[in-house]
Amino acid sequence: MARHIMHFTVPSCVEPVQQLHFLGGEIDAGDSHRFEAELMSPRLDARSERSANRAHPLRLHRARVSALTLHLADASATEACGASVASALRGGMIVTLQGDLGTGKTTLVRGLLRARGVTGAVKSPTYTLVEHYSVSSLYFYHFDFYRFINPNEWDSTGMSDYFRDDAVCIVEWPERVGDRLPAPDLALSLAYATGDGGRDVVAIAHTPNGERCVTALARGARLTG
């Protein structure tokens, strides 16, 4: 089985109050076989935290986190990452995915949609701009703005109509539409990892709903301490 290492980190772009913090939440060990994890707390150094968690493993299982990085060793790990996020999505939420071509954005969305019950093809919307899915009473819109040359195209294509309370909007290349895009609940950034051909993803929550997504990502972790 591929080895996945989860590093909970504090990205430099996050305000101190939004850096990795733990609230009363629910993380259980559940389906945690896919990941290994290391955890850093703003209050404790990593060594003390690991040692504390060894003594009190349930502490981590109650943690809620607002930022983390994951190493994704292969495409199935990227899909699993998307599947973890899927469980926490609700209508009205926005998830953005940044990263160079080929870093796995569409793969992650595919895992997410599959986990929400989409059984048909999950195609990249690079040429169609948006792909639609409907599961129960919830709509999923998967955008890819790579081909936008000017953010003004957002206005002429009527994109804001998709951002509704009964829809989850998942956006690749959000930077191509600039500040026209409503603020995301969860921002994912993918990058090529050095060394093993895999990918790294940074997940940052910008709202309580986004925080639930990051918590769900952490739920996929096998907490090795």
Residues that bind Mg ion (CB under 5 A): 105-106, 124
| Interatomic CA distance for residues 179 and 103, integer angstroms | 23
In the window 171-200, what residues touch ligand ADP (CB under 6 A)?
Answer: 197-199
> Which residue lies nearer to ligand ADP by CB, 61 or 104?
104
Handedness of CA 175, 179, 180, 181 (dihedral sign): positive
> Which residue lies nearer to Mg ion by CB, 19 or 96?
96
| Interatomic CA distance for residues 90 and 149, integer angstroms | 31
Nearest approach in angstroms of CB 88 to ligand ADP is 21
| Interaction partner, residue 199 (ligand ADP, Mg ion, none; CB < 5-8 Å by kind) | ligand ADP
How do strand 35-38 and strand 5-7 relate by DSSP bridges?
parallel
| DSSP class per residue in 179-209 | GGSPPPSEEEEEEEPSSSS-EEEEEEE-SHH
Q: Tokens 């199935």, residue?
A: 76
Nearest approach in angstroms of CB 131 to Mg ion is 11
The site string for ligand ADP over 86-125 (x = CB under 6 A, - otherwise) reads: -------------x-xxxxxxx------------------
Binding site for ligand ADP (CB under 6 A): 72, 74-75, 77-78, 99, 101-107, 197-199
